Structure 1
Amino acid sequence: MFTPRTPRIVAARRLQRRRDRDQAGRFLAEGPQAVREALAAGVVLELFGTPAGLDRHAELTAQAPEVSPVTEEALEALAETVSPQGLVALCEQVNVPIAEALAKSPKLVAVVAEIRDPGNAGTILRTADAAGAGAVIFAGDAVDPYNGKCVRASAGSLFHVDVVRAPLDVLDLLQDSGLQVLATSGTGSDDVDSLLDGGLLSAPTAWLFGSEAHGLSDGLLQKADRRVRVPIYGGAESLNLAAAAAVCLYASARAQR
Structure 2
Amino acid sequence: MLENPRSPRVRAVAKLSKRSARVETGLFLLEGPQAAREALAWVPETVQELFATPTAMERHADVRAAAEQAGLEIQYATEDVLDAMADTVTPQGIVAVARQAPTAMKDVFAAGPRLVAICEEVRDPGNLGTIIRAADAAGADAVVLTGRSVDPYNPKVVRATTGSLFHLPVAVGADLAAVVERAHAEGLRVVAADVDGGDFLAARALLSEPTAWLFGNEARGLEESALAHADLALRLPIYGRAESLNLATAASVCLYETAFAQRAGE
Partner in structure 1 of residue 194 of structure 2: 185
User: Would you say the 8 A contact 1:45–1:66 is kept in 2?
Assistant: no
Correspondence for 2:59:
56
- Superposed displacement of residue 25, structure 1: 1.3
Look up the equivalent residue of 2:258 and give its one-letter code: S
Shift in Å, 1:161 = 0.7
Equivalent position of 2:107 in the other structure: 100
Deviation at 1:202, TM superposition (A): 0.7
Aligned to 1:82: 89
Equivalent residue letter for 2:81:
A
- How far is 1:8 from its partner? 2.2
TM-score, reference length from structure 2? 0.92
CA distance in 1, matches of 2:15, 2:62: 28
Q: 2:202 aligns with which of 194, 205, 210?
A: 194
Hey, what's the Cα distance between the residues in 2 that align with 1:23 and 1:228? 40
Consecutive aligned runs of 4 or more in structure 1 exceeding 6 Å deviation:
none
Q: Cα distance, 1:5 vs. partner?
A: 2.6
Q: Map 1:20-31 to 2 at 5 A.
A: 20-31=21-32
Q: CA deviation at 1:102?
A: 0.9
Q: Residues 47 and 61 of structure 1 are in contact (CA less than 8 Å); yes or no, is this contact kept in structure 2? A: no
- Counterpart of 2:19, as a letter, is R
Q: How does 1:208-227 map to 2 (within 5 A)?
A: 208-227=214-233
Q: What percent of counterpart residues are identical?
A: 53
How high is the TM-score relative to the length of structure 1? 0.95
1:27-38 equivalences under 5 Å are 27-38=28-39
Structure 2 residues not aligned, in runs of 5+: none
Q: Show CA shifts across 1:175-222 (max 9, x none).
A: 22211100111010x2322221xx200111110101110101101101
Q: Which amino acid aligns with 1:71?
A: T
The structure 2 residue matched to 1:254, chosen from 254, 257, 260, is 260
Task: Choose from 91, 95, 99 the match for 2:98.
Answer: 91
> In the TM superposition, what is the alpha-carbon distance from 1:22 to its structure 2 partner?
1.6
* Alignment-mate amino acid for residue 159 of structure 2: R
User: In 2, distance between residues paired with 1:250 and 1:71?
Assistant: 43
Structure 1 CA distance for aligned equivalents of residues 186 and 24 of structure 2: 31
Superposition RMSD in Å: 1.1
SS at match of 2:119: strand
Q: Within the alignment, does 1:69 sit opposite 2:72 as a pair?
A: no
Q: Which amino acid aligns with 2:75?
A: S
Contact residue 103 and residue 169 of structure 2 kept, 8 A: yes
Say if 2:129 is the partner of 1:129. no
1:33-63 C-alpha deviation (Å, 9 max, x unpaired): 1111000121211111112112211221232
How many Å apart are 1:124 and its aligned residue? 0.4
Distance in 1 of aligned mates of 2:249 and 2:63: 33
Cα distance in 1, alignment partners of residues 260 and 19 from structure 2: 36
- Equivalent residue, structure 2, for 1:46: 49
Q: What SS is found at the alignment partner of 1:120?
A: helix
Structure 2 residue 191 is the aligned partner of structure 1 residue 159: no
Which of 169, 181, 184 is equivalent to 1:172?
A: 181
Q: Unaligned stretches of 5+ in structure 1?
A: none
What is the deviation of 1:167?
A: 2.1
